Structure 1
């Protein structure tokens, strides 16, 4: 029987956190889902740790050949999904237990003109401790026209819809948008959201239902220095997608905000320092 929801995890060198991520998916209060995990030829113990879940009937494990960057692994695992709804979770982020239940109920309540729903999320450090709560959405609430939602994203200079763990798509809308767009790697999520929102509206849920981990080895942290230049490229794309809604002044404002956000992000990473590293297990008693 086809599940209502597919949760997909494109893993790559996530040995420090992958078990916590998988456990958070399997602990959902909503039961009708499949979990697809694709290891992108990791060089650490990620693949070994994933195999521990092979006996769970909800889990399917695959391996994506090396190369092609995040876009290849995200698309491979998403295209293998069979559910009506799809959620992608990076291999170090966390779902809170009620997120699928809440987001499925929201999309079920609304008509098919709503392409995706997004929620707020907490930010956690390398040890899983929350340091910022209920971030995201920038005032968006309820049902929002897709093109107006894209304008809000551009004007923010960031990604107020959050990382993919915060989002649940209609799989058909993601497919219609051409799957994940890695043209600007830092904006693979927001760039894809913009394309999806050309096919339908957004439903914004203000409750914090997921956690985004800020860790030293994280892909987005390594790309922080490129944030503003990729933001500007994304803003140009958004204007091309919706020129009647995203104005030149919106692009200008977004570019200014993106440069400000880059400085804030770099300062935050410097302050977090050791908190971005995973916890070190205590030595066993002799």
Structure 2
């Protein structure tokens, strides 16, 4: 593992009005069993005291930046990965949580497999509420181990939901950033999945079956307010994925996926999160 010449991992948080949760999010990063990381927080001109809360936290690994104006999710997420020093990158929304061994487990996989074509390591997640109570203790939609991009995307389409997890779930090589177009809000609700799809055109997925993080559902989260728009934007994402011949998505995949997507939109509390 990298010891000299800077941190091996960059954890970056694009923050906007996360005063209620940001301290807990940051503490979950600073308490990792793996310690060779930097933590960058990019405040998107918050108005609720988020910036002041982070500024009050003293740790040499933490660096705080503030935009002079609100850039919105796409602008701030890309800003958050614009100056990473680590070999590997993890982006976290400002209310999610890492479990203590998250970085250690994911770094170990990438250190062993990055040179062999693994572009993304994801861990399963727990779904929590505003009080950090587990709503769903573990979501396992992809088996443990290595998976080729075509298989992953076709399964994602057929299931009509996010089988990879939100940004907090993933760790990826920083060297791949310049080979992508970055985080794109062309379909705002699936900004995370669009980026995962770009990475999977550059290598395989490795899934860790254990929950390594928590994704929060709360009144402050976009997923709790977006309603029916979730369904329509996921369908739009599916169409975009199917139009990319690289993944080999079939008409049958889309047919099954549209049915499942409709079911998920009516019954699931798990969605994608986007902060304006």
Superposed CA deviations along residues 183-215 of structure 1, whole A, max 9, x for unmatched, are 111101111111110111000100011001110
Q: Provide the C-alpha distance between the structure 2 equivalents of 1:219 and 1:140, rounded to a whole number of angstroms.
A: 28
Query: Judging changes above 3 Å, is the alpha-carbon distance between structure 1 residues 107 and 244 closer, same or farther for their aligned structure 2 residues?
Result: closer
Q: 1:11 matched to which residue of 2?
A: 15
After alignment, is 110-119 or 241-250 more displaced? Answer: 241-250
Following TM superposition, where does structure 1 have runs of at least 4 consecutive aligned residues deviating by more than 6 angstroms? none
Q: Provide the C-alpha distance between the structure 2 equivalents of 1:3 and 1:106, rounded to a whole number of angstroms.
A: 17
Counterparts of 1:86-235 in structure 2 under 5 Å?
Answer: 86-112=89-115, 113-136=117-140, 138-235=141-238
CA drift of 1:57 comes to 1.1
Superposed CA deviations along residues 82-140 of structure 1, whole A, max 9, x for unmatched, are 2111001100000001000000001111143100111111111110111211114x133
CA drift of 1:172 comes to 1.9
Q: How many aligned positions are there?
A: 266
Q: Provide the C-alpha distance between the structure 1 equivalents of 2:46 and 2:9, rounded to a whole number of angstroms.
A: 26
Q: Unaligned regions of 5+ residues in structure 1, if any?
A: 270-286
Q: Counterpart of 2:201 in 1: which secondary structure? A: coil
Q: Provide the C-alpha distance between the structure 2 equivalents of 1:241 and 1:3, rounded to a whole number of angstroms.
A: 36
Q: 1:27 matched to which residue of 2?
A: 31
TM-score, length of structure 1 as denominator length: 0.89
CA drift of 1:243 comes to 5.0
Q: Provide the C-alpha distance between the structure 1 equivalents of 2:244 and 2:202, rounded to a whole number of angstroms.
A: 11
Q: 1:264 matched to which residue of 2?
A: 267
Q: Does 1:42 align with 2:51?
A: no
CA contact (8 A) 1:228 1:255 kept: no
Superposed CA deviations along residues 34-56 of structure 1, whole A, max 9, x for unmatched, are 00001111110101101012x42
Q: 1:81 matched to which residue of 2?
A: 84
CA contact (8 A) 1:214 1:221 kept: yes
Q: Counterpart of 1:237 in 2: which secondary structure? A: helix
Q: Does 1:255 align with 2:258?
A: yes
CA contact (8 A) 1:147 1:242 kept: no
CA drift of 1:244 comes to 5.4
Q: Counterpart of 1:134 in 2: which secondary structure? A: coil
Q: Provide the C-alpha distance between the structure 1 equivalents of 2:146 and 2:268, rounded to a whole number of angstroms.
A: 29
CA contact (8 A) 1:64 1:76 kept: no
Superposed CA deviations along residues 226-259 of structure 1, whole A, max 9, x for unmatched, are 1111111111111122355211221222222111
Q: Provide the C-alpha distance between the structure 2 equivalents of 1:170 and 1:16, rounded to a whole number of angstroms.
A: 31
CA drift of 1:27 comes to 0.3
Q: Unaligned regions of 5+ residues in structure 2, if any?
A: 272-276
